[in-house]
Amino acid sequence: MLDLVIPSVTSKDVGHKLAEQWPTYVAYLVSFATIGNAWLNHSVITEYLDRADAILLRLNLALLFFVSVLPFPTHMLAEYLSNEGDERIAVTVYGLNLLAISGFIAIVWHYALWQRLVTKDNSEADVRALTSKLDPSLASYAVVIGIGLWRPGGRGGPLLRHRPVHDHPIPDRFREVRRRGRA
């Protein structure tokens, strides 16, 4: 769906043709950051889990679905940036997909907490910190989608300027897991 292709041109036009594809490159980078963020969030969540049940696995599949369809709205966004009406639709579809990814990450985490699937050796402060880092992105995506609907302008609206990557306690968590593995 999203394809980084080498344009077929004469040798004198290569730089110009590559520059014309900037929307594709930007959309690809934003989507890569979003997928990477989803993976990092999911990795941190699984490090906190003691076990999983059938519903948590199905929630994970729903998350995977929205991550797997991200190339489609990404391609739409790159394709329709030059037309304001089409851009508005593309930004909305893209934003809704990002919101679904962020939403399902939060749903997976809150479900794990609700069903007590989280290990008991996690500190309350760590659990609260992770919860606060997963939840705000829902509101920010909703605001960004609204702005994109109201006034997309600026080539991709605010979604291309929105930074989906959040600061997570991942390095400390991975160091802790490695220490446990060595012990």
Tell me the per-residue pLDDT of 49-79, one tens digit each, with 9 for 90 and over: 999 999 999 999 999 999 999 989 888 888 8
Give the distance from CA 80 to its chain's centroid: 21
The verdict on residue 7 lying in a domain is no
In angstroms, the CA 44 to CA 109 distance is 10
CATH number assigned to the domain comprising residue 165: 1.20.140
Q: What is the pTM of this model?
A: 0.74
When divided into structural domains, the chain yields a total of: 1
Give the distance from CA 114 to its chain's centroid: 24
The verdict on residue 10 lying in a domain is no
The verdict on residue 56 lying in a domain is yes
Best CA proximity match to 161, nearest among 170, 148, 149: 148
In angstroms, the CA 144 to CA 141 distance is 5
The verdict on residue 8 lying in a domain is no
The verdict on residue 176 lying in a domain is yes
Domain with 171 in it: 15-182
The verdict on residue 87 lying in a domain is yes
For residue 56, the cross-strand partners are none
The verdict on residue 2 lying in a domain is no
Question: What number is the average pLDDT over the span 133-150?
Answer: 75
